[in-house]
Structure formats: structure tokens, C-alpha cells
Structure 1
């Protein structure tokens, strides 16, 4: 039996919008501590970028009454690819609504996954043009190295919480063509985690189980640094800046990402990570499934996953403790 031809219409994760009830404090965190560059403002939003992001921005920071995910956006490989994915969404009974007048990119098509998280697809985009004082010597680099704070290189991935992880996985596989590289299945048969990719990266985003049965919540956004040593240096930078470190530095068992998690002032969890050279090059990659017993062993080198990692997300619940 011949394998079904893979769908490769999604190019990559383009940007993530974070909502924050403390917009000025959050902005200082991402510019001064994370080392990102402001690339523009529109309405209640500020748009930021890492120094190696090729698009105008990768993070949209929007003032809001609470924290959480505003939306996550994927760029398609072409205009026809966008039309094919929109047709697939409509065939699955999912409504996609066009949004015009977007900062840094063309028409964005908004839709929601089975858990209610907001997503966007787009094709037309604005490539970043560095002003003279930010122009690098190496012309194949979008922007000069900031030498400020953590020195975020680029947006890497994000993680949502979901009441039904399996339903969300099959939705993204069937409509957008994402591949599942790793997953967690509990003894009960419930799917507790899944990691999806549209590229040769081992994952572009993940979903893990929502502990309270509340749909549409957000776990974290992740930015890539250059090395493990950069993650260790980031820990010192966060310490000196008075930023609460939730867990790490350490190495995940799932996906083997070297990680460090903190909370930004608005309450959203932020990860800085180094994924090393781990790529998924096999076109017929076989999904790795982790059991409940295997995950109880903790992270790669034995660090136990702390309770808040499974229970805390944004928007916060009434009983959430703030660091």
C-alpha cells in the first residue's frame, strides 16, 4: 500500500501574540531582558523581533485585561498553498475569517482549533529591513547582534493547553498537514501531550493536557538561543533582573530541548531554549510515544517536573498563585 503524499503547505511558525495586563512592564522585559528589538506599534500592540527573524516581527505584545494567547500564526509556502489549507479547514467545518490591515503581513485568516485557541494563516509578508544603526556587517543576517540581555535569536515554538489533546492533534494533521514527531499516552489511553512539525525541525508547537478542564488556555512561548552555554548565561541575566525562574536550566526527555522557564511580568510563561542539531530528516518518521511510567521518571537527567508546569497556564485561574 502506497503511503499518502505528505502535505507541505505550511512553511513555518510566523509569530505569536501574547496578551498582557502589564504592557509597559512586559515590553521592558522583552526588550531589556530578552534583548528583542521593537519594530513597530499599531493600536494596543507593540511588535518585536529576535535578531535572526527574517520577518518584520515574531512577537506581538497586546495590552489586555488578562494574560494569555492572542493568536499564533503560520506562514504558508505560497498563495496557492494558503488557498488549499483554507479549503481543507472549510471542508472540516472550520470557519476561517479574513483580517486586513495587519502589521507586517498581508491578509490573515483567523480560525480556532477544537479547544478554542485562535490561529492564523497568511502568505504575504514584509521582510525586515534593518535601519542603518541596526544593519549587520554580514548581509545574510537580518539584523545586528543586539548584545543586550538574553539576546534572543528567533522565535522557536509555543505550547498550548488542551482539554482534548488527541482531537487537536488530528485536527492539525488533517487540515494543515502537520506531522506528529512525539506524543505522550497515559495508562488510561488519554493523550497527554503531542509535538507537531511542518518543517525539518523536530517540532513547531506542542499541546499538553489541561489539568482543570478549562479550554483555550496557553502554556508558554519559546525563543531560541545559540547554545547551552547561552541558556546558562540567561539564567544569570534573569537572576540579576529579578525575574522569577520556574524551572531549569535542564534538558527535556521529550524532544531533548535544553530549557529554562520564567514568567514575564504579564504572567505568561516564557522559555529560552537550545534544541541543538536535532532535526527530523526522515520523510517517513515514526512517531515516538512516551508512556506514563516513562514520563514519571522526570526530565532527561532526572529532574522531576514541578507541579506548576502541569497546572499553571494563562489566562490564570482564580486559585493560581502568582510568583
Structure 2
């Protein structure tokens, strides 16, 4: 088993959208991210307390989904060890130039085919005039509009199988498995892993279509539960589609709201309170089918689209038709 915390944290990721202008308005106007630059078909966005330059790279594309997820190594030596372990698995794609403000990035895929990158060199975010915070230990002044979200919290991937990705994250990247859904037949339907002392940074959920490389959702952290309640009210004013919530998960105990951005990607706004996983020998908490059938923490039943909607849509499925209908309704 590799040592814990050689990956310092989940850094920034690329989100693909077929509606770039509307998606940009969602991220800046509704979520309160700050636009920091552009390159080609991509726009770089910053959450107000992210110490690095980029939180989301929003890229115009023919469809929705996730591009590369970037992870920051704890140091140069940790990066070397991570790259050696990745190369030993045969999943490495090689070194690439990082996004603006980031050093050389070693790119690879996990078993389901999601593209990931690991790097160490990084420039600190410098706020422009007008966004300089009053408190010097804060990256940027808190925006006066939108939710606003503090940082990227986690990413939930859809995978054809969960266990190979869970094991890769644990055995190659040094993740700690914190919670899982274990079905009656022994199959794992979802696995929550962390690189830090948060409850989770990366999740793999089984894709009911059997497809590979899709996205369930990305999540942003808010300061308080009240921020999430406010986000629900703001969604009405911004014509943002609310899928489910506000409510509280049983798994990880996260207070949540799920919405769709105009490109079709599911976005979670979450607040996990003060719950941390500090035990280095933490044993995974397994949830059974019967326990999951009870719904969320306070009894809300899991909405059907939570099991069927993913991006990019899979052609010729009932879920894809529903997704198209939802997309059409959001632009009327």
C-alpha cells in the first residue's frame, strides 16, 4: 500500500459543455466563480477561496461530460513516486504542459478511462483589483453575487465497474476508502475515497448503462447549510433546474442540493459540516441495499434520475430522452 497523502488534494478539472455561453453564465452568475482567463475553446474559472489559479476549466465541446481531473502531489518527490507507480500499471499517457499557472503534468487514465493528471508546480492565485480580500489568509474577496461557492469539493465518476477504480485509487494513488455501497450479491455499487482528511474527494458509482468514462456530478463546497438553502432560492431566479434537495445524505452526512448546469452536467452544492476522517487506519463503512432503500438521512427517497442521468448522454436510452427534454425545458 502506498503512503497516504502523497496527493495533497483534488485540484482543478475540465468540464465539457455544448452550451458554453449559458454554462459560463451559470458558473459566474449563479455559482459566483470568477473568470480569470481563456485559451482556445476554454475559459478558466476561480472559486473565491481556492489558493490556485483555476478551479474549473470550462471547455466548449460537442457534448457534455468531464475532461481531465487534476491532482496536486504533495511535493516533487511524491510526484516522482506517484508517476513511477502509475507507469508500472501501464496506464500512463506521458508528460504534458499544465494549464496556465501549472507546471508539467503527468497524464494517465484510471481503469474506466477517465483522464487524470498529477503535478506539483503551481502558481498562487493573485486577485485583481477590486477582489483583494480584507483578510490576508483568504484567496479572494467573497463575491457579493451568486451562491457563492468556496472551492471544488469532490467529483463523482460513473464507471462500468466500481472495484477496479476503487482499487486503483487506493493502491496506486494512495487514497483511503471511507464508505461504500455493497449490494446483496457482493458487488460494490459505489465507493467514496479521500486523498485528504475530508470524507471524500473522488467517488466511483456504477453506470447502469455499462458505459465508461462518464460523469455523475462535480460538487462545490459552501460555508454553511444556509448557503445551500439560499442557492435553492437563487436557482428559481436564475432558471436553474433543481433535480433534488435540499436534504441530507446518509452516506457521508452531506447537506446537499443537486442542479443541472445548462450544458447538462449535474452539479452538487454541498456542506459536510465539520466531519473529517482523521484515522489513518479507517475501515470503510459499508451500506447495504436495504439501508440504501430507506432513502436519504431524513427519509427523502432517492429520485430516479439520480440513477439514470449522467454525462455525456448515452444515445438511444430512455435516460437520454429525458435529458434532452430537460435540456429543452431549460432554454424555453
TM-score (norm 1): 0.97
Q: Would you say 1:135 and 2:127 are equivalent positions?
A: no
**1:143-292 → structure 2 map (5 Å cutoff):** 143-292=140-289
Alpha-carbon separation, structure 2, partners of 1:8 and 1:54? 18
Query: Is 1:16–2:13 an aligned residue pair?
Result: yes
Residue 5 of structure 1: how far off its partner (Å): 7.0
Aligned residue in 2 for 1:39: 36
| Distance change >3 Å, CA 157–CA 280, structure 1 → 2 | same
> Whole-Å Cα distance in 1 between the matches of residues 147 and 4 of structure 2?
36
SS in 2 for 1:306: coil
CA distance in 2, matches of 1:5, 1:39: 36
RMSD of Structure 2 on Structure 1 (CA)? 1.0
Choose from 298, 308, 312 the match for 1:311: 308
Equivalent pairs, count: 320
Q: Deviations over 1:132-167 (max 9, x none)?
A: 211011111110010111111111101000111001
Q: 1:5 to 1:221 in 2, by over 3 A?
A: closer
- Any gaps of 5 or more consecutive residues in structure 2? 327-332
- CA deviation digits over 1:6-40, x for unaligned, max 9? 33210000011100011111001100111110111
Instruction: Give me the whole-angstrom Cα distance separating, in 1, the residues matched to 2:243 and 2:99.
Output: 34
Query: 2:2·2:171 contact (CA, 8 Å) conserved in 1?
Result: no
**Distance verdict in 2 for CA 1:81–1:101, change over 3 Å:** closer
What's the CA shift string for 1:211-259, capped at 9, x where partnerless? 0111111000100111111100100000111111000000001000000
CA distance in 1, matches of 2:267, 2:226: 18
Runs of 4+ in 1 over 2 A off after TM superposition: 4-8
Structure 1 CA distance for aligned equivalents of residues 238 and 210 of structure 2 = 35
Matched residues in 2 for 1:317 and 1:7: separation?
Answer: 36
CA contact under 8 A between 2:257 and 2:268: conserved in structure 1? yes
TM-score (norm 2): 0.95
- SS class of match (1:132): coil
Answer yes or no: is the 8 Å Cα contact 1:86–1:96 preserved in 2.
Answer: no
Mean CA deviation greater in 89-98 or 280-289? 89-98
Residues 4 and 176, structure 2, Cα contact 8 Å, conserved in 1? no
State the Cα deviation string for residues 37-75 of structure 1 (Å, max 9, x = none): 011111111010111000001101001000000111100
Segments of 5+ residues of structure 1 without an aligned counterpart are none
CA contact (8 A) 1:85 1:176 kept: yes
For the 8 Å contact 1:18–1:62, the answer to whether it is kept is yes
